[in-house]
Amino acid sequence: MSNGKVTPGKVVAVVLAGGYGTRVRHLLPNLPKPMALVAGKPFLEWVVRYLGTQGIPNVILSTGYLGEVVERHFQTQPVPSVRVWCCAETEPLGTAGGFRHAVRRSLELHLPSPPTAWLVLNGDSLAFAPLASLLRHLDNPKVAGAILGLSVEDASRYGSLACDSQGNLLQFAEKRPGCGTINAGVYLLRHAVLEALPISFPLSFEQDVFPDLLTRETNFKVEICEAPFLDIGTPESLPQAEVFIEKNRDWFNDFSQ
């Protein structure tokens, strides 16, 4: 693995936007969940704009259910300084399966060469955390990737992350009440890690990929922070999105709208 410093320009983001959104579909009958209108823009566009503020120049959107809605919106390239491509799933592939499909297609059609690292995010959630804190872990050539962990008072809705005192990932824990470090669904992976991904479909990061890599003693770091976070995947959380974006407008103040 290279020991060169990994900068945002050497990273390509893959945003997973292909889920059915079953729990909120009655609120969004003609839209995929990430395209819910929030503060005048689709929530997914806010995710891409956040990536732009962090210096990420290229973003792949992995689409599925009503993917044509996503493609129509981003055909106009609405986010300055960020080049966006869409990659459609023809069947549900799981989080890691959709990521791997998007990587393969983007290397065939759009990217002249693989990036140093891939950043994986969900299109229906957003954590306002500085990505530089994740990237710094790849300064160590022995580290294969990093996961964003959020310290929360109630971890009951999300899977938790267990790590040792050096921040090495030990396992993904089950959902449980009380305080804990939750998985924000933000993964930074060296390109070389892709060679070790299982080839089966559907494929989950949490249930398949990371447990398999940990059995091989692959070194993943957990970057734990406190950051504003919202997942719009429930009828209770979706209406909170407008206030969430407005309260965190400062993240976009130095970024051309």
Give the pLDDT of the chain (257 residues) as one tens digit per residue.
Answer: 444 688 999 999 999 999 888 999 999 989 999 999 999 999 999 999 999 999 999 999 999 999 999 999 999 999 988 999 999 998 999 999 999 999 999 999 999 999 999 999 999 999 999 999 999 999 999 999 999 999 998 888 888 999 999 999 999 987 788 889 999 999 999 999 999 888 888 999 999 999 999 999 999 999 999 999 999 999 999 999 999 999 999 999 765 54
Whether 214 is covered by a domain: the verdict is yes
Angle subtended by helix axes 43-53 and 67-74, to nearest 10: 50
- Here the CATH number for the domain that contains residue 203 is 3.90.550.10
Q: How many domains are contained in the chain?
A: 1
Q: Are 35 and 43 in contact (CB under 8 A)?
A: yes
- The pLDDT of residue 225 is 95
Count of CB atoms within 10 A of residue 8's CB? 17
Whether 186 is covered by a domain: the verdict is yes
Whether 59 is covered by a domain: the verdict is yes
Q: What span, in angstroms and rounded, lies between the C-alpha atoms of 76 and 93?
A: 27
Whether 93 is covered by a domain: the verdict is yes
- The pLDDT of residue 2 is 46
User: pTM (2 decimals)?
Assistant: 0.95
- The pLDDT of residue 3 is 47
Whether 256 is covered by a domain: the verdict is no
Whether 196 is covered by a domain: the verdict is yes
- The pLDDT of residue 226 is 95
Kindly state the DSSP code that residue 118 receives in the 8-state scheme.
E
Q: What span, in angstroms and rounded, lies between the C-alpha atoms of 24 and 33?
A: 7
Q: Are 51 and 252 in contact (CB under 8 A)?
A: no
Whether 166 is covered by a domain: the verdict is yes
Range of 163's domain?
Answer: 8-250
Whether 236 is covered by a domain: the verdict is yes
